[in-house]
Structure 1
Amino acid sequence: MKKTLCITLLFLIGISCNAQKTLQLKEGEVSPKATLNEVSWITGHWRCEVFGGIAEEIWSPPLGNSMMFSFKLVNDNAISFYEIGHIQQKGETLILQLKHFHGDLKGWEVKDKTVDFKLVKMDENSVYFEGLTFEKVDENAINVYVMVSNEDGKAEEVAFEYKRFK
């Protein structure tokens, strides 16, 4: 299922990047201290055009030790897939967790499993999770970079260039 997920993501939403923007924790390295307030700039309703369709993400402000989000990709006026998840405060650090769903809301992951992205580092305008990076361009634009595997098992970074929708 993981390979299918990566292939589907790459096919549906992949835009190749030249300079890698995603990072990984090194062996034995732990996530740094961080708070949800430091990443609250992600809050908003975001859209971008990809592969002839529209990607949409909606992020809530911090509440209850998390920022929740929903994502959908629409191609040819039909839902390709959804994601729901959150950035959660875990002790003194953050973790991003998500689950994928087909257009009919049937889940991709096993019932009690999530796709987890540990925090690697942060700076003023970027937050780096393992294989997933948010970059603040300005108040009305963010870029999201995701590392996925293609059919050959090779990792490739894809980018979403979001603009604030509302």
Structure 2
Amino acid sequence: MKFTYILFLLFSLNIYAQNTIKLKEGQNSPKASLADVSWIAGHWKGEAFGGITEEIWSPPLGNSMMFVFKLVSEGKVQFYEIGHIKEQEESLILQLKHFTENLKGWETKEQTIDFKLVKLEENKVYFEDFTIEKLNANEINLYVLIAHEDGTKKEEKFNYKKL
């Protein structure tokens, strides 16, 4: 019985963050271009955190793909994000900033939240703690490892349908 519990616990920990990964110590981001992730472009809508989520991604232009995100619950915007995936040093980086419903920034003026590219697959792009997966032409999943106020981290899944 004890052995079964330990196996269950190990399995549970393994699936806890199964879609997000990090670069290994000393590992560099692989070579990549925006053409490798251009399938992300579009207007996407889903549900998370008890509300409606929306993301709009531009096609590649000027070595970047910009995006905006918003969470709406109880009929009100809870927060926004603005960011981009950009080509940097023959690879890609995803950067973003958070804003309140009144567009007051969460991060300092000079600060961004950065996610370095870890790995590319045909229908999946892995940034550190942030993964985007193409299920088909009209549906994607985003997986984000989010730090909570109590110090724990949990992988959150966002499922989006194309509008």
What is aligned with 1:114? 112
Alpha-carbon distance between aligned partners in 1 of 2:100 and 2:51, rounded to the nearest angstrom: 16
- Among 88, 92, 97, the alignment partner of 1:94 is 92
Alpha-carbon distance between aligned partners in 1 of 2:48 and 2:81, rounded to the nearest angstrom: 16
Per-residue CA deviation, residues 8-32 of structure 1 (Å, 9 max, x unaligned), is xxxxxxxxx7561000001111000
Per-residue CA deviation, residues 124-143 of structure 1 (Å, 9 max, x unaligned), is 01000000000000000000
Supply the AA of the counterpart residue of 2:122.
E
Question: Runs (4+) of structure 1 moved beyond 3 Å?
Answer: none
TM-score scaled to structure 1, two decimals? 0.87
Alpha-carbon distance between aligned partners in 2 of 1:19 and 1:81, rounded to the nearest angstrom: 24
What is aligned with 1:21? 19
Alpha-carbon distance between aligned partners in 2 of 1:73 and 1:116, rounded to the nearest angstrom: 20
Supply the AA of the counterpart residue of 2:25.
E
Is contact 2:17-2:155 (8 Å) kept?
A: no
Is contact 2:17-2:154 (8 Å) kept?
A: no
- Aligned Cα root-mean-square deviation (Å): 1.1
Alpha-carbon distance between aligned partners in 1 of 2:150 and 2:79, rounded to the nearest angstrom: 23
How many aligned positions are there?
149
**Structure 1 stretches lacking a partner, 5+ long:** 1-16
Sequence identity of aligned pairs in percent? 62
What is aligned with 1:83? 81
Alpha-carbon distance between aligned partners in 2 of 1:67 and 1:30, rounded to the nearest angstrom: 22
1:3-22 equivalence runs, <5 A = 20-22=18-20
Per-residue CA deviation, residues 7-59 of structure 1 (Å, 9 max, x unaligned), is xxxxxxxxxx7561000001111000000011000000000022331100000
Alpha-carbon distance between aligned partners in 2 of 1:110 and 1:42, rounded to the nearest angstrom: 28
SS of aligned partner of 2:94:
strand
- Among 60, 64, 71, the alignment partner of 2:62 is 64
TM-fit CA distance, 1:150: 2.2
- Among 121, 128, 131, the alignment partner of 2:129 is 131
TM-fit CA distance, 1:151: 2.9
**Structure 2 stretches lacking a partner, 5+ long:** 1-14
Please say which structure displays the higher CA radius of gyration: 2
Alpha-carbon distance between aligned partners in 1 of 2:23 and 2:149, rounded to the nearest angstrom: 24
Which range moves more in the overlay, 93-102 or 145-154? 145-154
Alpha-carbon distance between aligned partners in 2 of 1:91 and 1:108, rounded to the nearest angstrom: 28
Supply the AA of the counterpart residue of 1:157.
E
Alpha-carbon distance between aligned partners in 2 of 1:70 and 1:153, rounded to the nearest angstrom: 27
TM-score scaled to structure 2, two decimals? 0.88
- Among 63, 72, 75, the alignment partner of 1:74 is 72
What is aligned with 2:48? 50
